[in-house]
C-alpha cells in the first residue's frame, strides 16, 4: 500500500543500521558489476555504439542532427559540416546533447578515451536511476523492509540494466527519466497532487520523450494516474501534466514533421515480408522471427551479455527457401 504523502506517513522513519548496510552493499555491487561489464565489453561493441557516437559528434561539433540513411544496409559515418549519417538519427536529441558536453570536455583525447568517458556518463545515469528506484520502493513498501530491499536488489542486479548502464546509448537516460516519471506518478496517487506536482510529472514525462520516442507510452499512464488520484484538481492537473509534456517534446515533433514528413520516425529498413500473402508463403520465417524476438527480449534482460555471443540463427537465413502452402 502506498503511503499517504500528504502527511507524516509519506515515508517510514529513518533507515535502520542493517538496512543502510544492505542498501550500501547493493549499490556497491551494482556499481562494481556495471564498471566491470563496461570494461569487459569491447569499445564500439555495445548495441549501436558507433551510431550513437556519430550522433554525439554531430551535435557537439556541428549542432546538427544526423541524416537518416535511405535504406538498410548502409554506411554510417561522421562528416563535418552537418553531413553525418546514422540510423540513430531517429532518436530525440536530449541524451546526445548531454553526452555532447562530455564529448567536448574530452575532445582532445583519443577516440577510445572519448568512448570510455561517454560510457562513464552511462554509469552515472545508472547510479542516479538506482537512487530514484530506491525512492520508488520506499514509497510502494513504506513499512516492509524486506520487500523494498528485495525489489531494489532485483533492479540493481538485473543483467540488462547493468549492461546498458555500461555502454554508450540513450537507453540509460530513458530508464532514469522513466523511473523518475513513475516516482512522480506514485506521489500524485498517494496524495501529493497539487498543480505543481502534476507539472513536475509533465516535465519528467516530456524529458523522457526527448530521450527516446518510446516514452510516449507514458502518456496513457499519466491519464491512469489522474484517474487514480484524489482531489478536486485531478482533471486540471492531468491536463496540465500532458500539456507540459507535449510542450517539451513539441520542438522534436515539429522537426520530424517539417524535415521528415511525420511526427515519429524509425530507422528505415526492408521489411522481412511485404504483404499478408507473402507472410503466408514464408510462414516459417515469420514464426522464427516472432520466437527470436521473444527469446531475445527475455534472454537479454536476465542473462549477462557475454553469455549471449552465440544466438539462434537469424530468420533471414530461411528467406531464400520459399514455402508454398496449398
Does 32 map to a domain?
A: no
pLDDT digits (tens, 9 = 90+) for 96-141: 999 999 999 999 999 999 999 999 999 999 999 999 999 999 999 8
Does 295 map to a domain?
A: yes
> Number of structural domains, the chain?
2
Question: Which three cell numbers mark 138?
Answer: 520506499
Q: Are residues 248 and 195 in the same domain?
A: yes
pLDDT digits (tens, 9 = 90+) for 197-235: 999 999 999 999 999 998 999 999 999 999 988 878 889
pLDDT score of 36 more than 60:
yes
Query: What are the CA-CA distances from residue 278 to residues 23, 283, 319, 325 (Å)?
Result: 54, 8, 11, 11
Name the DSSP class of 75: -
- Of 241, 264, 287, the position where a domain reaches its end is 264
Q: Are residues 254 and 177 in the same domain?
A: yes
Q: Are residues 223 and 249 in the same domain?
A: yes
Does 258 map to a domain?
A: yes
- Of 264, 285, 308, the position where a domain reaches its end is 264
List of residues 6+ apart from 321 with CB closer than 8 A: none
Does 66 map to a domain?
A: no
Distance CA 277, CA 274 (A): 8
Burial 61-93 (b: 16+ CB within 10 A, else e): bbebbbbbbeeeeeebebeeeeebbbbbbbbbb
Distance CA 268, CA 82 (A): 20
Domain span holding position 296: 276-318
pLDDT score of 34 more than 60:
yes
Using alpha carbons only, what angle is made at residue 168 by residues 116 and 148, rounded to the nearest 5 degrees?
Answer: 105
Q: What is the pLDDT of residue 296?
A: 62
Structure pTM? 0.82
pLDDT digits (tens, 9 = 90+) for 165-191: 999 999 999 999 999 999 999 999 988
Does 136 map to a domain?
A: no
Amino acid at each position: 500500500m502506498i503511503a499517504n504523502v500528504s502527511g507524516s506517513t509519506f515515508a517510514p522513519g529513518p533507515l535502520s543500521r542493517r538496512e543502510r548496510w544492505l542498501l550500501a552493499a547493493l549499490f556497491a555491487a551494482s556499481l562494481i558489476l556495471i564498471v566491470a561489464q563496461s570494461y569487459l565489453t569491447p569499445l564500439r561493441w555495445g548495441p549501436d555504439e558507433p551510431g550513437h557516437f556519430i550522433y554525439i559528434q554531430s551535435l557537439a561539433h556541428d549542432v546538427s542532427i544526423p541524416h537518416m540513411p535511405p535504406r538498410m544496409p548502409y554506411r554510417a559515418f561522421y562528416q563535418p559540416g552537418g553531413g553525418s549519417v546514422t540510423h540513430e538519427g531517429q532518436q530525440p536529441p536530449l541524451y546526445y546533447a548531454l553526452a555532447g558536453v562530455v564529448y567536448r570536455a574530452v575532445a582532445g583525447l583519443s577516440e577510445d578515451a572519448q568512448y570510455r568517458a561517454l560510457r562513464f556518463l552511462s554509469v552515472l545515469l545508472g547510479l542516479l536511476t538506482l537512487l530514484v528506484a530506491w525512492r520508488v520502493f520506499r514509497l510502494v513498501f513504506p513499512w516492509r523492509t524486506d520487500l523494498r530491499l528485495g525489489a531494489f536488489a532485483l533492479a540493481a542486479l538485473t543483467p540488462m540494466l547493468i549492461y546498458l548502464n555500461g555502454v554508450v546509448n540513450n537507453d540509460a537516460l530513458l530508464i532514469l527519466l522513466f523511473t523518475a516519471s513513475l516516482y512522480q506518478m506514485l506521489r500524485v496517487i498517494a496524495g501529493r497532487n497539487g498543480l505543481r506536482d502534476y507539472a513536475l510529472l509533465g516535465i519528467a514525462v516530456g524529458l523522457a520523450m526527448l530521450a527516446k520516442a518510446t516514452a510516449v507510452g507514458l502518456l496513457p499512464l499519466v491519464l491512469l494516474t489522474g484517474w487514480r488520484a484524489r482531489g478536486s484538481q485531478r482533471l486540471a492537473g492531468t491536463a496540465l501534466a500532458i500539456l507540459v509534456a507535449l510542450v517539451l517534446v513539441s520542438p522534436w515533433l515539429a522537426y520530424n514533421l517539417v524535415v521528415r514528413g511525420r511526427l515519429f520516425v524509425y530507422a528505415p529498413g526492408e521489411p522481412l515480408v511485404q504483404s499478408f500473402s507473402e507472410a503466408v508463403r514464408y510462414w516459417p520465417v515469420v514464426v522464427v522471427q516472432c520466437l527470436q524476438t521473444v527469446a531475445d527480449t527475455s534472454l537479454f534482460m536476465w542473462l549477462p551479455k557475454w553469455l549471449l555471443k552465440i544466438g539462434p540463427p537469424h530468420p533471414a537465413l530461411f528467406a531464400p527457401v520459399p514455402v508454398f502452402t496449398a
